[in-house]
Amino acid sequence: MSADTALARITTALHRRGLTLDTPPAAPLPRGSYAHRGGPGEPGDPAWHHQQRVEVALERWQRLTPPRYTHARTTHPGVSAWADSVAADQRTAPSLLLWGPTGTGKTHHAFAATHRIAQAGPPRFALTFTTHPDLYSALRPGGHDDGERERTMRRLLATPLLVLDDLGTARESEWTGEILYRVINHRYNQQLPTLITTNHAPAALPGVLGDRIASRLIQMTTRIEITGPDRRLTR
């Protein structure tokens, strides 16, 4: 191929792109900028990345939620407001204590709140759910090997969002008290959102859990009373 033929082909290709041989080179991108920002619905588009986070969070929520609560959606304004605060910034959001009689829907509200958080597509969504009795069962010596118990404890301490259901229904002892204190105290100090349900009024918690646990729970939580008839008996 002659030089003239090659130059003609290059010129034709440039014209197709609206360029000429005299077009100056593009200015370098600022440090830290992306070489490509996708259009709407493409990688690089902020809305696209948000939608990806929503889908991942909802898939995790669906996988971790018991079948009875997979359709739970919150209509309680206080619970919704708390969920929105966690979705906006987990580092500054308080924990939540839902209390009231048996069967009023506290666990339903808890899973509905976590669904609302997942639906907001936070930068990171991870959820650990346990009941108070199951917490002790998973950590009790003799039930699992030491490595498994320690991994379970680390997950309870560090998970971005912990749901602790039916607080106050397990039989307390010196050992259980220390286990619960370790979990609550760590999450209190690290300001990690924890959603707790209980049949006990906040004023009764010192007598049920001891002063040092109750004191931290009261300070770290927004407290919402859930009232009404026992839904399980009225269906």
User: Could you tell me whether strands 194-198 and 95-99 are parallel, antiparallel, or unpaired per DSSP bridges?
Assistant: parallel
Q: Over 60: is that where the pLDDT of 205 sits? A: yes
CB atoms within 10 A of CB 217: 23
Where residue 113 falls among pLDDT bands split at 50, 70, 90? Answer: very high
Where residue 3 falls among pLDDT bands split at 50, 70, 90? Answer: low
Residue 22, token pair as written in the block: 């005299």
Question: CA-CA distance, 229 to 102, in Å (whole number)?
Answer: 9
Q: Over 50: is that where the pLDDT of 104 sits? A: yes
Burial (Cβ within 10 Å: 0-12, 13-18, ≥19) of residue 30: exposed
pLDDT digits (tens, 9 = 90+) for 68-99: 999 999 999 999 999 999 999 999 999 999 99
DSSP helix/strand/coil, 167: strand
Name the residue type at position 63.
R
The model's pTM is 0.80
99 touches 202 (CB < 8 A): yes
133 touches 166 (CB < 8 A): yes
Residue 5, token pair as written in the block: 């033929």
Q: What is the pLDDT of residue 35?
A: 44
Question: CA-CA distance, 37 to 29, in Å (whole number)?
Answer: 12
Q: Over 70: is that where the pLDDT of 26 sits? A: no
Task: Answer with the residue of higher pLDDT: 6 or 62.
Answer: 62
Summary mean pLDDT of the chain: 87
CB atoms within 10 A of CB 74: 20
Rg of the chain, C-alpha, whole Å: 27
Question: CA-CA distance, 184 to 157, in Å (whole number)?
Answer: 8
pLDDT digits (tens, 9 = 90+) for 116-154: 999 999 988 999 999 999 999 999 887 667 788 899 999
84 touches 116 (CB < 8 A): yes
Q: Over 90: is that where the pLDDT of 208 sits? A: yes
CB under 8 Å to 130, separation ≥6 — which residues?
A: 138, 156, 162, 163, 164, 165
Average pLDDT over residues 179-198: 97
Question: CA-CA distance, 80 to 77, in Å (whole number)?
Answer: 5
Q: Over 60: is that where the pLDDT of 34 sits? A: no
Q: What is the pLDDT of residue 231?
A: 83
